[in-house]
Amino acid sequence: MLVSQTISGAPLDRHVGLACFSHLHRTDDRFIEHIQTLAWLVRRNPGLDGVGLVRLVDAGNACDLRAALARLVDAWSARLDADPAWGAIRPLIVRASEASLSGS
């Protein structure tokens, strides 16, 4: 939830959050590990927002973290009542991924 709230910039309903990630966890065992790493980054960088989090994982060796972040954003964005912040952060993740691929 910490990562989700950092991206949205607002408190989120815990039950809704659990519903969003339960299928992600079932389809990818490493997803929780990646989200825990992202939460560690958020805790170590007070005041971090969604854009700042994407910039932190902009390094080429963070492609697994970017992928996990993108999946989390997609899950929240799929909700009918999704905050516009979710849609705004997705292009930044895509650009970070494309930049690291072109730099390879």
The residues near 54 (Cβ < 8 Å, ≥ 6 apart) are: 66, 69, 89, 92, 93, 96
The share of the chain scoring above pLDDT 70, in percent, equals 86
- The 8 Å CB, 24+ separation contacts for 55-64 are 55/96, 57/96, 58/96, 58/99, 58/100, 59/100, 60/100, 60/103, 60/104, 63/97, 63/100, 64/30, 64/34
Q: What is the pLDDT of residues 9-19, one digit of tens each?
A: 777 777 877 77
pLDDT tops 80 at residue 6 = no
Q: Does position 49 have pLDDT exceeding 60, yes or no?
A: yes
* CA Rg value for the chain: 13
Count of domains in the chain?
1
Structural domain of 64: 2-102
* Tokens 């494309």 -> residue: 98
Residue 29: the pLDDT is 76
This prediction has a pTM of 0.61
